[in-house]
Chain A
Amino acid sequence: EIVLTQSPGTLSLSPGERATLSCRASQSVSGNYLAWYQQKPGQAPRLLIYGASSRATGIPDRFSGSGSGTDFSLTISRLEPEDFAVYYCQQYSDSPRTFGQGTKVEIK
């Protein structure tokens, strides 16, 4: 099983600042089959990034993903008020399709 470890657990930032979230895999994620999701309280998750770096339909270009192998990151270039949420990474290169434990981006 590929274990995904996200860091930090919580990121306290102000609107307009840059956010960088990390996702580290216990073994290589083949094909860079890694996705990022955003979840707000009481809502279902929303796909942001797939294939490590491709933005999903309708996702603003302030969201970008990068990385390969075992180290991946999600960057939000300038935080908007609606970006404060929990973010999860997920690998889909192998079964089980594991999620990271999440990073909460909160308002400082």
Chain B
Amino acid sequence: EVQLVESGGGLVKPGGSLRLSCAASGFTFGAYTMNWVRQAPGKGLEWVSSISSSSGFIYYADSLKGRFTISRDNAKNSLYLQMNSLRAEDTAVYYCAKGSGGFDVWGQGTMVTVSS
């Protein structure tokens, strides 16, 4: 079964850091572009970042540059999002998603809450 499972979310204070992970199974992880998408409570979807199969191409939403870092370990079938200098407006469910031409597999999401 093709599956993505996120972890690492939680409650963090403003200015803090968090590292999200996404474990992939059921497909050849190293062959696909991977992505992070977030959704603030009651709001729409916001693309966060994408990383190509071999990490050669990395893109970020303009609003996040310098604070978030996407990475992957193809040997461990895992995707990561390092989030630094977190703000209240980063509070959201963070999803990892597979694909470059439409995101065809999504995880269940992990909640990140930034609050003092």
Contact = CB atoms under 8 A, between A and B. Distances in A.
Interface of A: 1, 33, 35, 37, 39, 44-47, 49-51, 56-57, 88, 90, 92, 95-102
B52 to A, nearest CB: 12
A45 B99 CA distance: 14
Interface stretch (B66-74, B78-86, B104-112): B104-112
B50 A97 contact: yes
B50 A102 contact: no
Nearest to B46: A99
A35 B108 CA distance: 20
A95 B101 contact: no
A11 B45 CA distance: 19
A96 B59 contact: yes
A24 to B, nearest CB: 16
Q: For the side of the interface on B, what is the size category?
A: 20 to 34
A96 B47 contact: yes
A97 B101 CA distance: 10
Contacts of B108: 44
Given A1-B62, A44-B107, A45-B106, A33 B101 contact: yes
A35 B106 contact: no
A35 B98 CA distance: 14
Q: Which of A88, A99, A102 gathers most chain B CB within 10 Å?
A: A99
Given A35-B102, A45-B106, A88-B44, 5 more contacts: A33-B101, A44-B109, A88-B45, A92-B100, A96-B47
Nearest to B61: A96
Nearest to B59: A95
